[in-house]
Amino acid sequence: MAKHKRSRKTGLPPGSLIHVGIKHTDIPIISLLDYNKTRLTEKTVTLVEECYPYKNQPTVTWINVDGVHDAETIEKMGKHFGFHPLLLEDIMNTEQRPKVDDFDEFIFIIVKMLNYPIKGGELAIEQVSFILGKNFVISLQEEAKWDVFNSVRERLRKGKGKIRNLGPDYLAYSLLDAVVDNYFSVLEKIAEEVEDLEEEVIGNPGPATIQNIHQLKQKLIHLRKSVWPLREVIGSLERSESKLIKKSTELYLRDVYDHAVQIIDNVETYMEMLAGITDIYLSSLSNKMNEVMKVLTIIGTIFIPLTFIVGVYGMNFDYMPELNWEYGYFVTMGIMLVISVIMLYYFRRKKWI
Amino acid sequence: MAKHKRSRKTGLPPGSLIHVGIKHTDIPIISLLDYNKTRLTEKTVTLVEECYPYKNQPTVTWINVDGVHDAETIEKMGKHFGFHPLLLEDIMNTEQRPKVDDFDEFIFIIVKMLNYPIKGGELAIEQVSFILGKNFVISLQEEAKWDVFNSVRERLRKGKGKIRNLGPDYLAYSLLDAVVDNYFSVLEKIAEEVEDLEEEVIGNPGPATIQNIHQLKQKLIHLRKSVWPLREVIGSLERSESKLIKKSTELYLRDVYDHAVQIIDNVETYMEMLAGITDIYLSSLSNKMNEVMKVLTIIGTIFIPLTFIVGVYGMNFDYMPELNWEYGYFVTMGIMLVISVIMLYYFRRKKWI
Amino acid sequence: MAKHKRSRKTGLPPGSLIHVGIKHTDIPIISLLDYNKTRLTEKTVTLVEECYPYKNQPTVTWINVDGVHDAETIEKMGKHFGFHPLLLEDIMNTEQRPKVDDFDEFIFIIVKMLNYPIKGGELAIEQVSFILGKNFVISLQEEAKWDVFNSVRERLRKGKGKIRNLGPDYLAYSLLDAVVDNYFSVLEKIAEEVEDLEEEVIGNPGPATIQNIHQLKQKLIHLRKSVWPLREVIGSLERSESKLIKKSTELYLRDVYDHAVQIIDNVETYMEMLAGITDIYLSSLSNKMNEVMKVLTIIGTIFIPLTFIVGVYGMNFDYMPELNWEYGYFVTMGIMLVISVIMLYYFRRKKWI
Amino acid sequence: MAKHKRSRKTGLPPGSLIHVGIKHTDIPIISLLDYNKTRLTEKTVTLVEECYPYKNQPTVTWINVDGVHDAETIEKMGKHFGFHPLLLEDIMNTEQRPKVDDFDEFIFIIVKMLNYPIKGGELAIEQVSFILGKNFVISLQEEAKWDVFNSVRERLRKGKGKIRNLGPDYLAYSLLDAVVDNYFSVLEKIAEEVEDLEEEVIGNPGPATIQNIHQLKQKLIHLRKSVWPLREVIGSLERSESKLIKKSTELYLRDVYDHAVQIIDNVETYMEMLAGITDIYLSSLSNKMNEVMKVLTIIGTIFIPLTFIVGVYGMNFDYMPELNWEYGYFVTMGIMLVISVIMLYYFRRKKWI
Amino acid sequence: MAKHKRSRKTGLPPGSLIHVGIKHTDIPIISLLDYNKTRLTEKTVTLVEECYPYKNQPTVTWINVDGVHDAETIEKMGKHFGFHPLLLEDIMNTEQRPKVDDFDEFIFIIVKMLNYPIKGGELAIEQVSFILGKNFVISLQEEAKWDVFNSVRERLRKGKGKIRNLGPDYLAYSLLDAVVDNYFSVLEKIAEEVEDLEEEVIGNPGPATIQNIHQLKQKLIHLRKSVWPLREVIGSLERSESKLIKKSTELYLRDVYDHAVQIIDNVETYMEMLAGITDIYLSSLSNKMNEVMKVLTIIGTIFIPLTFIVGVYGMNFDYMPELNWEYGYFVTMGIMLVISVIMLYYFRRKKWI
């Protein structure tokens, strides 16, 4: 997988179709779902030209493109559907910030789709673009392996819910809703990781703990970077006066908006909890140091004076009266015992042992 | 009690009635209070159908549902009263953010009710939904064991205050007021805990202190997460131009709004106080370490040189003139005493002892 | 002095007159000042009924009530003057946030009055409510012992300034101005305490320093909690379009508003200075530890090797050639001296001594 | 220089002319500059009455007053020119926050003038008030020794620039511009101090470093306190719709506004840099401690076991076979050498030496 | 390269053309590009007068000036084109904050151009001013060696894109876009440095690490200082109602605006990551200290008691029964071994080794 840097674009005229990001697949895969109340056609398309007829059909068409690195495909499609070059450029630059642009004839939406398959693993962020037209929705993803739209596909195929009765704006909402819903499952995994870290930091903190905290914080920073603008996107869709979005759909968008706000709330809460966990970790370091120091101090404070005393009676002066005293040895040992006991008592009173 | 995760909902069409949260009871318990100025009927209902007649009666009806996990009950009620599926979905998803939605015919309110029975215990957060209609209020809670509405029930039964003379908007206000009033008693307990922690951190801080601070901060974070949106909810109710809320009730809502602002103020103050307490705790760790180090240093600094001196006269050189001197031993002991005294004086001047 | 908790009110209908706060006096003391340009009557009233006639007199009347715990007095007064029950409830709940409510017929203002008699002592916060009517001002305080209105009383009595020529709005402004002016004297004391702390932390920091910082910060937090909403109160009075406030008084309110902003500015500055002082304190702890550690290290590093050397020549091996050498003792002593000197030189280069 | 505290004013009626601040001079010095395109008169005035005729002359008059502590002068001037008592009060209270008040007939401006003659010295803040009338500007400063207006005086005298052709609003702008320009030279000195501190903290941090950081931060806090409201002042002058400010002058005010924003930007940048410097300082303390501890540990770890070994062979047991062995001494010395080498190697691998 | 300080300007009348900043070149270099759809003229001009004819030609003219320190050149140009003196002053003061000023006849834009050739090197910030007129764009840079406009020049020469077909507003947009695009390549280098630092701090942190963090943070602070106002500049250009900016160009400006927001997002993210890295670094210091202390404590705790024991049997008392016991020596050695083993076991249980 080749990573194309943003700097490839430096100096090119606006609307230059240059891919920025990781190239996941070789050939873009285009799948097509065309439906109305009564019937549904589904096919995978090899040539972009096969999508052309669906531009003006009365049925609702959902064209899903997996792979946005191929300038030719994007350009052809853009020319046929009449998309602005800047829009096409944004599709291919996968480091865009989530945003919504209203080009009277269609609405262009960029959001981030998260993939977080295993707890503690890497958080993959994939850019998804939507173009909502009068009777079609085009969605463009970076790669084919994985997306969050299967449930929408199922509902379309089975005619479950009212999705088949409603227009492309409801389809676009359903896709956005699927993206946002997926944020919740990512958040649930992260919530568990926060709890694990909390236990780790209280029970058994080690030098790696701070790195775990850091990695989790990193994930939250990236999540937040995706979800804050997402909220704006959905909010301005809801308030939009575009004729492409029906009144009845606005209520649903309001619902997704509430979810986005809830996700932001949770992200901020986890951020604050991580800050608290960091505090506990740092103070546990200090506590540990205190404990180590206490042991050293207790041992040192008891034995250093005793060692001095035995050193005294190890001196070789010719005249040291104690040495000749019969009970000298035993009395000295006794005195040292008394000193130790006094010291231990002192430490206990100081609550060091 | 089974915990249903938010991710159960992933991929389902909007308006799918799936419970999210902890399932507290088996069968939802529905109680019904129907009143006007002159009379009051109270009963517990087993079948949701029994509530149907009250939809259009001129009296004010308060229907309270304990347990929101049962999709069938919620759906039946929703169908009869004409609630939007998204509204029903929000009722069953108990991880909602407090919010208010104005559906012309009724106003839908979600708030969080706190339960904090014992100081230092767990802070339980329960979601309560209100639907305010033309002549009814429906309240839905997660569980039956506990709520904050008994005082409202009492006032209704006894006809105390003007509650019996006024419409369902005043009833809804009274219920909201009961919820907010309860925040104050939670805050009072937390205030005491903050004070206890302050004393602990000054008097006798231990390794568990930081965890206590962390737990209390956690509670405040959750409280804040409940009360900030609550303020918005009440604020937008007050400013709402819905015909369901009478002019005279707005003054009361303004009053609850002021309370919510006051609670936020207090939460932020406790947050700042906890930050200060953390600072004291961390500096007390450093102070303790300093104290330990000083003891070690004093003992070491006095005895290490002395031990060296006694070591010198423990050497076995054939020719060491001091050893043969009659007063050698006593003079050496004297010198060591003088050294000790000088050192102790030095430490006192440095304010170490 | 009995402390009534907020939770006493839990579950009572709105407008219930329940005192929250500390009960300072037994019987509320009501004093009355009635004046116009030419004459002034002053009396202390035992029965609240004596105030009734002043409701509609053309002169300006200032009724001051000391003690708000007595529901009966408050209720009687409220009934006669036609105050809303929620207003009366707010008067008796002394834990209100400063606020202003415009009830067409009168304006209701709550502010906090500070009492900080001695530097370093307790900061007492007392709630003062004002009701500004067409030709009267009612002020209600928690206790009789102390207030900041003596200067206003003096000016009224002596007819100093224009206070006697102007209406009740100017009187209300004068009372508010007295409250705000008092904040400045509190701030001056706190400024001195900040300076004292700064000196303490630089000159002679001890374990109690952090607690002093904490206590001062606490005071600033409480001050800020009083003064931020106070600014809003005065600001909305100034912008208010109530017919009770004359155009000419707005300029004076603008002046008090500027003072409130200035107080906030100072409070924030002191907060930042305290944060800086905390930093100095914490780094002084580290510096102290460093100093202690250096002494231990110097002593240890010099004597531990020397003690080893003397230990070597204290061994009892049969064959140790140095022991029999005539100058062995002196040479060993010399070598040890050289080692000490080298080490001291090394420490000086490292700037440890 | 007597310092008058704000509390002197407590309890006085509004508009009481009481000086707050430091009394710098004995008698206020009044200087007067009257000019039009063709001629310029300059004189120093002893009696405030001499200024009276200039109130209504068609020429532009700039009256500069040094010393605002003398109530009589201020009051006379105020009476003649028709200034509001609150305005006069604000002039004499030199602890005002920068502000602008529009009294139709004139605009009243308060700003802070900085004096920072030597790097590292005290930052003196002086209050300057401006009153811009139809054909005059009155400026009032706290003291006569120093101000930033000499360049404006020079330009007026020499007729440089267009200052002589334009009205009093341009003069007021020029004076404000001179005040703001002076902030830049203060900032340049502070920038150098920040750089010096950065070098100090990297090269040779000592216990005084944190105090230097603290003092510089204090200066920045005071600067910020002066410049944030200054920005508001100039901004509201620019947007003001007063007839006293000509359209053509607004462009110049916009320019000063940009400068004020730039100063704020720089102040905030220096604040952040100081925070960074504090971090470096604190971590340098930890690093130093680590270094000290390492030396102690290395010495201790090497010599403590060796001292134990020599202690063993200093025991006086009757039967210790090694003692009688001929090579015992040399072998023991060899073993100790080997232990030392192993330990040194271990420390090098740990990167301690 | 002489550095001219801002203070050179202090006291000069507004519109004084004084250079502030580093003087990079001796003579300003003026290059000129004049084009329409069909033809393009390019030349380097020695006398500013040669630009004069292009003021009113129907073709689009781009005049690029390298070097803004020469007051004469700037003044002549300004006089001919009719620029306001304040505008010229802003051009020569290279410490301006990015801003946009709309002078009906032309729009004046100041932005910052970054130069960051090598990773870890110095971040050079150069001021670029644009004046967009009816049919010309004048760009003024500080120095000739380097700029980001070569790609625009290429596109103009080759007639690539639509740049040749569109007006001066599109040219101005292209130049702004080139400046903003360049921020991305700077950010990419900084992103790599953040990653390097992260690795350094986890793998091998040293005393210099904190300085590297500090330096990178400094760069980010400067970047942020350039890019925040840049966003405002582009935003107000986009919303501007000037007749100089065509409707069709607004879409492009919106695109650059999005890029600016994205850059700000990234800068803030890197800031947060650096804060996290600082935390790791500081806790790694504590961990290191802990490790060092543990080694000292283990060695000390094991050997200090043993040294005491051997000291005991080194005493010279006449009567010490153990000394005469045949197995005394071996039993003592054995006891010491047992003590060591017990201690090692204790340390292992404490997880110190």
Residues 140 through 199 of chain A touching chain B, CB cutoff 8 Å = 148, 150-152, 154-155, 160-163, 174, 177-178, 181-182, 184-185, 188
Look at residues D231, D254, D283 and tell me which one is the last residue of a structural domain. Answer: D283
Beta bridge partners of C60: C35
Residues D167 and D252 in one domain: yes
Tokens 């639509």 correspond to E162
Residues D49 and D192 in one domain: yes
E interface mutation test: which of A307, A323, A335, A336 has the most E CBs within 10 A?
A307
Residues B247 and B337 in one domain: no
Mean pLDDT computed over every residue of chain A: 88
- Integer Cα distance of C228 and C240 in angstroms: 18
Residue D113 has a pLDDT of 94
B interface mutation test: which of A231, A317, A323, A343 has the most B CBs within 10 A?
A317
pLDDT tens-digit series, residues B73-88:
899 999 999 999 889 9
Look at residues A283, A303, A323 and tell me which one is the last residue of a structural domain. Answer: A283
| CATH number assigned to the domain comprising residue C306 | 1.20.58.340
In this complex, do A6 and E289 lie within 8 Å of one another by their Cβ atoms?
no
D78 vs A41, B293, D42, D86, D100, CA distance in Å?
88, 68, 22, 10, 17
Beta bridge partners of A60: A35
Does an H or E element contain D261, and which?
helix D247-312
Residues 210 through 239 of chain B touching chain A, CB cutoff 8 Å = 210-211, 213-214, 217-218, 221-222, 225
Beta-strand pair B106-115/A106-115: unpaired
Question: Lowest-confidence range among A251-260, E284-293, E304-313?
Answer: E284-293
Residues D293 and D311 in one domain: yes
The 3-state secondary structure of D146-212 reads CCCCHHHHHHHHHCCCCCCCCCHHHHHHHHHHHHHHHHHHHHHHHHHHHHHHHHHHHHCCCCCHHHH
Which subunits sit against B, judged by 3+ Cβ pairs under 8 A?
A: A, C
Question: Own/partner pairs for D100-104, CB < 8 Å, 24+ apart?
Answer: D100/D233, D100/D236, D100/D237, D100/D240, D101/C254, D102/D240, D102/D242, D104/D242
Which of E101, E289, E314 lies at the smallest CB-CB distance from D293? E289
Please state the domain count of chain C: 2
Which pair of structure tokens corresponds to residue D13? 């009626």
Residues E318 and E294 in one domain: yes
Q: Which amino acid is at A150?
A: N
In this complex, do B315 and A316 lie within 8 Å of one another by their Cβ atoms?
yes
Does an H or E element contain B280, and which?
helix B247-312
Q: How many CA atoms lie within 13 A of D187 on its CB side?
A: 27
Q: What are phi and psi of C229, to 5 degrees?
A: -65, -30
Question: Lowest-confidence range among A315-319, B245-249, B281-285, E36-40?
Answer: A315-319
CA distance E181 to chain D (A): 24
Give the three-state DSSP class for D103. strand
pLDDT tens-digit series, residues E322-339:
888 888 888 888 999 999
The 8-class DSSP code of residue B113 comes to: E
Within 10 Å of residue D187's Cβ, how many Cβ atoms? 22
Residues B269 and B298 in one domain: no
Q: What is the band of A1 on the pLDDT scale with cuts at 50, 70, 90?
A: very low
Q: How many CA atoms lie within 13 A of A79 on its CB side?
A: 8
In this complex, do B299 and A294 lie within 8 Å of one another by their Cβ atoms?
no
- Integer Cα distance of C66 and C25 in angstroms: 8
- Integer Cα distance of E10 and D149 in angstroms: 10
Q: Does position D1 have pLDDT exceeding 50, yes or no?
A: no
Chain D CB contacts of E296 below 8 Å? 293, 296-297, 300-301
Inter-chain CB pairs, C–D, below 8 Å = 153
- Is D334 touching E (CB cutoff 8 A)? no
Residues A230 and A322 in one domain: no
pLDDT tens-digit series, residues E273-288:
999 999 889 888 888 8
Residues C44 and C168 in one domain: yes
In this complex, do B300 and C304 lie within 8 Å of one another by their Cβ atoms?
no
| CATH number assigned to the domain comprising residue E157 | 3.30.460.20
C interface mutation test: which of D4, D9, D10 has the most C CBs within 10 A?
D10
Q: What are phi and psi of D141, to 5 degrees?
A: -115, 165
Number of H helices, E strands in chain D: 8, 9
Give the closest residue to D237 by CA, choosing from D264, D219, D214, D255: D255
Residues D316 and D186 in one domain: no
Q: Average pLDDT for residues D216-235, to the nearest whole number? A: 92
- Is A322 touching B (CB cutoff 8 A)? no
Q: Does position C159 have pLDDT exceeding 60, yes or no?
A: yes
Answer yes or no: is the ipTM higher than 0.90: no
- Is B333 touching C (CB cutoff 8 A)? no
- Integer Cα distance of B8 and D286 in angstroms: 50
- Listed in sequence order, the residues at least 6 apart from A338 whose beta carbon sits closer than 8 Å to its beta carbon are none
Give the closest residue to D90 by CA, choosing from D142, D175, D20: D20
Q: Which of A182-191, A200-209, A296-305 has the highest mean pLDDT?
A: A182-191
In this complex, do C262 and D86 lie within 8 Å of one another by their Cβ atoms?
no
Which pair of structure tokens corresponds to residue A120? 């503690």
Residues B166 and B224 in one domain: yes
Which of B273, B284, B314 lies at the smallest CB-CB distance from C310? B314
- Integer Cα distance of D184 and C39 in angstroms: 58
For D78-122, strand residue ranges (E) read: 99-103, 106-115
Q: Does position E1 have pLDDT exceeding 50, yes or no?
A: no
Q: Average pLDDT for residues E39-52, to the nearest whole number? A: 88
Which pair of structure tokens corresponds to residue D137? 């500007």
In this complex, do C258 and D7 lie within 8 Å of one another by their Cβ atoms?
no
Q: Write down the H helix ranges in A204-246.
A: 209-239
Q: Average pLDDT for residues C88-114, to the nearest whole number? A: 92
- Integer Cα distance of C274 and C215 in angstroms: 11
Give the closest residue to A107 by CA, choosing from A76, A139, A143: A139
- Is B280 touching C (CB cutoff 8 A)? yes
E65 neighbors E92 (Cβ within 8 angstroms): no
Residue B189 has a pLDDT of 92
pLDDT tens-digit series, residues B275-312:
999 988 988 888 888 888 888 888 888 888 898 888 88
Residues D297 and D199 in one domain: no
- Integer Cα distance of A314 and C56 in angstroms: 105
Residues B264 and B216 in one domain: yes
Residue B126 has a pLDDT of 93
For B78-172, strand residue ranges (E) read: 99-103, 106-115, 124-132, 136-141
Q: Does position D6 have pLDDT exceeding 90, yes or no?
A: no
Which of C151, C301, C316 lies at the smallest CB-CB distance from D12? C151
- Is D265 touching E (CB cutoff 8 A)? yes
In this complex, do A188 and B306 lie within 8 Å of one another by their Cβ atoms?
no
Chain D CB contacts of C166 below 8 Å? none
- Integer Cα distance of E158 and A344 in angstroms: 90
Mean pLDDT computed over every residue of chain D: 88
B interface mutation test: which of A308, A325, A351 has the most B CBs within 10 A?
A308
Inter-chain CB pairs, B–C, below 8 Å = 151
Q: In what order do the strands lie in the sheet with D136-141?
A: D40-45, D29-35, D60-66, D136-141, D124-132, D106-115, D99-103
Q: Tell me which of E130 and E71 has the higher pLDDT.
A: E130
The size of chain C, in residues, is 353
- Integer Cα distance of C172 and C131 in angstroms: 9
Which of D221, D303, D323 lies at the smallest CB-CB distance from C305? D303
D293 neighbors E291 (Cβ within 8 angstroms): no
Which subunits sit against E, judged by 3+ Cβ pairs under 8 A?
A: A, D
- Whole-number percent of chain C with pLDDT over 70: 99
CA distance B117 to chain A (A): 24
Look at residues E283, E304, E339 and tell me which one is the last residue of a structural domain. Answer: E283
In this complex, do D329 and C307 lie within 8 Å of one another by their Cβ atoms?
no
C259 neighbors C180 (Cβ within 8 angstroms): yes
Which subunits sit against C, judged by 3+ Cβ pairs under 8 A?
A: B, D
- Integer Cα distance of B348 and B353 in angstroms: 5
CA distance D308 to chain E (A): 5
In this complex, do D185 and E6 lie within 8 Å of one another by their Cβ atoms?
yes
Q: Average pLDDT for residues D229-252, to the nearest whole number? A: 91
Within 10 Å of residue D45's Cβ, how many Cβ atoms? 16
In this complex, do E316 and A324 lie within 8 Å of one another by their Cβ atoms?
no
- Is D41 touching C (CB cutoff 8 A)? no
pLDDT tens-digit series, residues E241-299:
889 999 889 989 999 999 999 999 999 999 999 999 998 898 888 888 888 888 888 88
- Is A301 touching B (CB cutoff 8 A)? yes
- Is E321 touching D (CB cutoff 8 A)? no
- Is E134 touching D (CB cutoff 8 A)? no
Domain housing E312:
288-349
Q: Does position A116 have pLDDT exceeding 50, yes or no?
A: yes
Q: State the sign of the Cα–Cα–Cα–Cα dihedral E312, E316, E319, E324.
A: positive
Inter-chain CB pairs, A–B, below 8 Å = 155
pTM for the model stands at 0.85
- Integer Cα distance of B92 and B15 in angstroms: 10
pLDDT tens-digit series, residues D297-326:
888 888 888 988 888 888 888 888 888 888
- Integer Cα distance of A172 and A158 in angstroms: 18
In this complex, do D214 and C294 lie within 8 Å of one another by their Cβ atoms?
no
Which of B15, B292, B315 lies at the smallest CB-CB distance from A294? B292
Beta bridge partners of A41: A34
pLDDT tens-digit series, residues B157-209:
988 778 898 999 999 999 999 999 999 989 999 999 999 999 999 888 888 88
- Integer Cα distance of A226 and A212 in angstroms: 21
B interface mutation test: which of A147, A278, A312, A324 has the most B CBs within 10 A?
A312
Chain A CB contacts of E307 below 8 Å? 303, 307
What is the per-residue DSSP string for E226-251?
HHHHHHHHHHHHHH---TTS-HHHHH
Give the three-state DSSP class for D105. coil
Give the closest residue to C96 by CA, choosing from B266, B267, B262: B262
What is the per-residue DSSP string for A113-175?
EEE--STTS--EEEEEEEEE-SSEEEEEES-SS--S-HHHHHHHHHT-TTTTTS-HHHHHHHH
Q: CA nearest A226 in E: which residue?
A: E265
- Whole-number percent of chain E with pLDDT over 70: 99
Q: State the sign of the Cα–Cα–Cα–Cα dihedral D338, D342, D348, D353.
A: negative
- How does B101-127 read in b/e, with b if 16+ C-beta sit within 10 Å? bbbeebbbbbbbbbbbeeeeeebebbb
Chain D CB contacts of E285 below 8 Å? 283, 286-287, 290
Q: Which amino acid is at B302?
A: I
Q: How far is CA C148 from the centre of its chain?
A: 16
A interface mutation test: which of E297, E298, E313, E320 has the most A CBs within 10 A?
E297
pLDDT tens-digit series, residues A38-81:
889 999 988 888 888 888 888 999 999 998 888 888 999 999 99
- Is C251 touching D (CB cutoff 8 A)? yes
Give the closest residue to E111 by CA, choosing from E132, E89, E127, E94: E127
In this complex, do A295 and E297 lie within 8 Å of one another by their Cβ atoms?
yes
- Listed in sequence order, the residues at least 6 apart from D154 whose beta carbon sits closer than 8 Å to its beta carbon are D160, E11
